């Protein structure tokens, strides 16, 4: 487990955390193994955790109105999934996540994390700050896409924004 704790230093969400602060996050977490093709969660499932991809790759997908599934993204090691569940009152996932290949994920329960934030735990507050920076970067990228693609970009940006915040 020591190697796993050390690998968390490389996760962007944990940037700037001291070793004891990473230990605090790790103490909340559980590691899960995924097989290729295994669903981590389905669109509409309860959003009760922050997930970190440790090994392997996952696919984020969403069903359209016509039941056709669209792949929104592929994420690899170090990527966070479900980070908005830490802030939103909505308790359902807006997309499905499936392992592309065998891998490992870290699950941090939302309620446990929120307790740390309520206690002004410095490590948890650093994670919140890192998430805020990531969301700001995503919004800036959407703004650039909107400006560069004109009216068509507006439609694309709206779609992207819904994917990010829903």
Tell me whether strands 58-63 and 96-99 are parallel, antiparallel or unpaired: antiparallel
pLDDT-based confidence at 159, cuts 50/70/90? low
Sheet holding 103-109, edge to edge: 30-34, 103-109, 49-55, 80-81
Spatial contact of 34 and 56, defined as CB atoms under 8 Å apart: yes
What is the pLDDT at residue 150? 62
Q: What confidence tens digit (pLDDT) does each residue in 87-146 have?
A: 887 678 889 999 999 999 999 999 999 999 999 999 999 999 999 998 888 888 877 877
What is the pLDDT at residue 152? 59
Q: Tokens 């490590």 label which residue?
A: 123
Q: What confidence tens digit (pLDDT) does each residue in 4-61 have?
A: 777 788 888 999 999 899 888 888 999 999 999 999 999 999 999 999 999 999 999 9
Fold of 2-165: Jelly Rolls (2.60.120)
- The CA distance from 47 to 149, in Å, is 33
- The CA distance from 146 to 141, in Å, is 9
Buried b (16+ CB within 10 A) or exposed e, 115-139: ebeeeebebbebbbebbeeeeeeee
What is the pLDDT at residue 1? 53
53 or 154, greater pLDDT: 53
61 or 153, greater pLDDT: 61
Spatial contact of 39 and 32, defined as CB atoms under 8 Å apart: no
* Residue 28: closest CA among 107, 104, 129, 138: 107
* Residue 76: closest CA among 95, 60, 90, 92: 60
Spatial contact of 17 and 123, defined as CB atoms under 8 Å apart: yes
What is the pLDDT at residue 106? 94
**pTM for the predicted model, two decimal places:** 0.81
What is the pLDDT at residue 84? 84
Two tokens at 141?
């990228």
What is the pLDDT at residue 132? 92
Say yes or no to pLDDT of 153 above 70. no
DSSP per-residue codes, 37-71: T-EEE-TTSB--EEEEEEES-EEEEEE-TTS-EEE
What is the pLDDT at residue 147? 76
């Amino acid at each position: 487990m020591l190697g796993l704790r050390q690998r968390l230093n490389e996760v962007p969400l944990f940037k700037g955390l001291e070793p004891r602060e990473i230990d605090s996050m790790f103490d909340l977490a559980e590691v899960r193994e995924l097989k290729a093709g295994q669903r981590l969660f389905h669109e509409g499932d309860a959003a009760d955790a922050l997930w970190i991809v440790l090994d392997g790759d996952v696919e984020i997908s969403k069903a359209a109105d016509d039941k056709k599934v669209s792949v929104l993204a592929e994420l690899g090691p170090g990527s966070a999934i479900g980070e908005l569940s830490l802030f939103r009152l909505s308790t359902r996932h807006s997309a499905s996540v499936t392992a592309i290949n065998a891998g490992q994920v870290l699950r941090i329960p939302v309620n446990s994390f929120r307790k740390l934030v309520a206690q002004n735990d410095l490590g948890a507050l650093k994670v919140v700050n890192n998430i805020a920076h990531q969301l700001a970067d995503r919004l800036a990228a959407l703004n650039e896409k909107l400006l560069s693609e004109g009216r068509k970009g507006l439609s694309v940006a709206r779609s992207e924004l819904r994917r990010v915040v829903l």
